[in-house]
Chains A and B, each alone.
Chain A
Amino acid sequence: MYHHSEFDRAFVVDRAQRFRDQVNRRISGALTEEEFRPLRLMNGVYLQLHAYMLRVAIPYGSINPDQLRQLALIADRWDKGYGHFTTRQNIQFNWPKLVDIPDMLDALAAVGMHAIQTSGNTIRNVTADHFAGASADEIADPRPYAELIRQWSTDHPEFQFLPRKFKIAISGSPNDRAVVKSHDIGLRMIEQDGQPGFEVSVGGGLGRTPLVGQVIRDFLPATDLLPYLESILSAYNTVGRRDNKYKARLKIAVLELGIDHIRDLTEARFAEIRPQFDGTDQQILAQIAAQFSAPTLVDGRGTAEYDAARAADPVFRSWSDTNLHAHRHPDYAIATISLKKHGSTPGDASSAQMRLIADLAERFGQGDIRISHEQNVVLPHVHKADLAALHAALREADLATANLGLISDIIACPGLDYCALATARSIPIAQQIATRFDELKLEHEIGEMKIKISGCINACGHHHVGHIGILGLDRAGVENYQVTLGGDATETMAVGERAGPGFSKDEIIPAIERLVGAYLDIREDASETFIEAYRRLGPDPFKAALYPQKEAA
């Protein structure tokens, strides 16, 4: 994976030093809060309900063992011994003191990490397929492109004061695991005449106006990537609204002006600036790509140990059934470590768990670790012969929950337990759903199910694209939960439809239970997933289960 260059190192160290100076001036009173706020946000420092929050980027979800150990150290030394992994492939520390944050940034810089552009109206952390470089269905590893975008977008002077935040996601596979069409720019790698390139979509987003990104270029040669991105950003900087924060995202410009107009602006700008790109970007890309060379995969070791362990241990078999994905090498697997133990906080990892994962990645996983937007941790290159030992080690640390893609593998934002924007809690709802279906022992029978929960309309919990989405709202000072149905976060992305009136916090778990019960009753057979049944039957039978009294009336 990529290691920071001298330039990168000097840059992040300088930024941390500058922030230390800014904090000192704030504390001395030389800076007012109004003056300081944009400076702290540029460095990922928010003020939440109970404390400051530091959001640290994990670029394109890729992290090495030393970096993960450093996050554990930061959690122990300056926070409360844990971190929260987010849907944006960031980690958030919920309890730092302002005066400690410069030290935290120094500690991050020491391992090539930072919190730059994790907030503010800039290009945010570029997100990517968490199986990049490993999955069997991949055309090419998207991470070199993601790193090129990171370098290009970091402190880019033209894009530091955009109308609103700007998110780019990239997938190297036709199967979209990065929800690319929910981003301002979505890049899906494709090939044309043997040449690599991207299908480029723009104007996607969740939040209060959920929209699926529209294709602005069917095929963009990979060599044109940066000038084309720059052209889209330039068009957005020109026409993006600055009069209304809620209408300032690119998606609104696409909605109001039309994709054809945005495309015309982009292509016109592209014609101007493409000649200015003299190939330096491609030289840098080649240097970056060399750092992402494929790991050495061992042939000939066989999978007999794996097969024997599966036959002998039903707990391992269950875990390997759910938590493994196909690797491009048949003797290897992509192993996902669930951070969704039933009843726990989705996406949270203790410092001890982080250290163990770092150790296991070195022992069994080529030192490669990913953070998924689904708030889990991935070891992308594990030999099948090592999986039983990996699983045994994970069990001892409460990290072997066999629930990937199942009903308890829930995305949930921090919600009203932490977030200053939230209108209701997310975490306890996720905990209760997971616990309830674990009690019912129905999880594996239900099969693939994506529940996503947001504690406010900003949709950090991706509720719009959950098979079942739950949106927590404030109704006259009482938490209330709206259900959406039929959302899809894959390459067939769809925004879920609101089912009807919301439920109280006491009603929402029984409502979900009725909904899932109805699915089990009406599915054709066990192979028909919830989302397939919903597409076949439409919303009516599911609404009837959610609102039985209305049906009876």
Chain B
Amino acid sequence: MARAFEPVVISANDLFDGRVIYLSGKDEWVSQLQQAQLITDEGQAKDRMAQALALSDRAVGVFLAPAKAGPNGPEPGHPREAFRAQGPSNYFHGKQAEDA
């Protein structure tokens, strides 16, 4: 039996400063994971990935990042994505500092 499709968001790093960015449902690259479009269907993921690559002037390394639904929008689906969404754990740097 085929494995069920796990939800994803489309993510990348910003060309200029390398920070983590996500694709929103409005075809905009946004900084916050919660503002990203959660994709739960494999066909939709393929379509959105193709669209994202067309929008990749400022996005580097566009990929499908594991995510899950949360009360306020998408949440990380893997520890790696949690660090990307927040920042390192040894210093208060990165997105966690931007939010503060």
Q: Interface on A for B, CB 8 Å cutoff?
A: 26-27, 29, 33, 47-52, 80, 94-99, 345, 416-418, 422, 424-425, 427-428, 431, 474, 477-479
CB <8 Å contact, A50 and B80: no
Task: Chain B residues near A50: list those with CB within 8 A.
Answer: 18-20, 83-84, 87-88, 93-95
Q: Which residue on chain B has the smallest CB distance to residue A48?
A: B18
Q: How far is the CA of A210 from the CA of B94 in the complex (A)?
A: 34
B16 touches which of A99, A422, A425, A428 (Cβ 8 Å) = A99
Min C-beta distance of A412 to chain B, whole Å: 10
Say yes or no: A417-B83 contact (C-beta < 8 A), given A345-B90, A427-B89, A428-B90.
yes
B46 within 8 A of A: no
B residues contacting A by CB (< 8 A) are: 13, 15-20, 57, 60-61, 77-80, 83-84, 87-91, 93-95
Alpha-carbon distance between A422 and B61 when the two chains are bound, in angstroms: 17
Query: Closest CB-CB distance, B18 to chain A, in whole Å?
Result: 4
Q: When the two chains form their complex, are residues B78 and A477 in contact, meaning their CB atoms are under 8 A apart?
A: yes
Could you tell me the dominant secondary structure of chain B's interface residues?
A: loop
Q: How many A-B residue pairs have CB under 8 A?
A: 72
Check if A27 sits within 8 Å of B79, measured CB to CB.
Answer: no
Find chain B residues with CB under 8 A from A27 CB.
15-16
Whether A51 pairs with B15 at a CB distance below 8 angstroms is no
Q: A417 touching B89 by the CB < 8 A rule? A: yes
Which residues of the partner chain B approach A94 to less than 8 Å between Cβ atoms? 93
CB distance from B57 to the nearest CB of A (A): 7
- Contact A49/B84 with A427-B90, A477-B79 known, Cβ cut-off 8 Å: yes
Nearest residue (CB) in B for A344 is B90
- Shortest distance between the CB of B31 and any CB in chain A (Å): 12
Q: Assess whether B89 is in contact with A428, with CB atoms less than 8 Å apart.
A: yes
Contact of B18 among A33, A52, A80, A431 (CB under 8 A): A52
Q: Is the CB of B90 within 8 A of A417?
A: yes
A47–B13 CA distance with the chains assembled, in angstroms:
8
**Chain A hits for B13, CB < 8 A:** 47, 51
Cβ–Cβ contact A416 & B90, under 8 A: no
Q: B18, B90, B94, B95: which contacts A47 (Cβ < 8 A)?
A: B18
Q: 12 extra interchain contacts, Cβ-Cβ under 8 A, other than A47-B60, A47-B61?
A: A47-B18, A50-B20, A51-B13, A52-B18, A98-B17, A99-B16, A345-B90, A416-B83, A425-B89, A427-B88, A427-B89, A428-B90
* B88 (CB) vs chain A CBs: closest residue: A417
Q: List 6 A-B contacts (CB under 8 A).
A: A29-B57, A47-B60, A50-B84, A52-B17, A95-B93, A98-B18
CB of B74, distance to nearest CB on chain A (Å): 16
Give the shortest distance, in Å, between A45 (CB) and chain B (any CB): 10
Q: Which B residues are in CB contact (< 8 Å) with A417? A: 83, 88-90
A431 to B83 CA separation, bound complex (whole angstroms):
18
* CA gap between A428 and B84 in the complex, in Å: 17
Q: Could you say which of B77, B79, B93 contacts A80, with CB atoms under 8 Å apart?
A: B93
For residue B89, which residues in chain A have a CB less than 8 angstroms away from its CB?
417, 425, 427-428
A26 touches B15 (CB 8 A): yes
Please, which residues of chain B bring their CB within 8 A of the CB of A418? Answer: 88
Q: A478 to chain B: which residues have CB within 8 Å?
A: 79
Partner of B15, one of A48, A98, A416, A424: A98
Residues of chain A with a CB closer than 8 A to B91's CB: 80, 345
Chain B residues whose CB sits within 8 angstroms of the CB of A80 once the complex forms: 91, 93
Q: Which residues of A contact B80 (CB under 8 A)?
A: 49, 416, 422, 474
**When chains A and B are docked, how far (Å) is the Cα of A83 from the Cα of B91?**
13
Q: Which residues of B contact A51 (CB under 8 A)?
A: 13, 17-19, 94
- Closest beta carbon of chain B to A501's beta carbon, Å: 19
Please measure, in the bound complex, the distance between the C-alpha atom of A97 and the C-alpha atom of B13, giving whole angstroms: 12
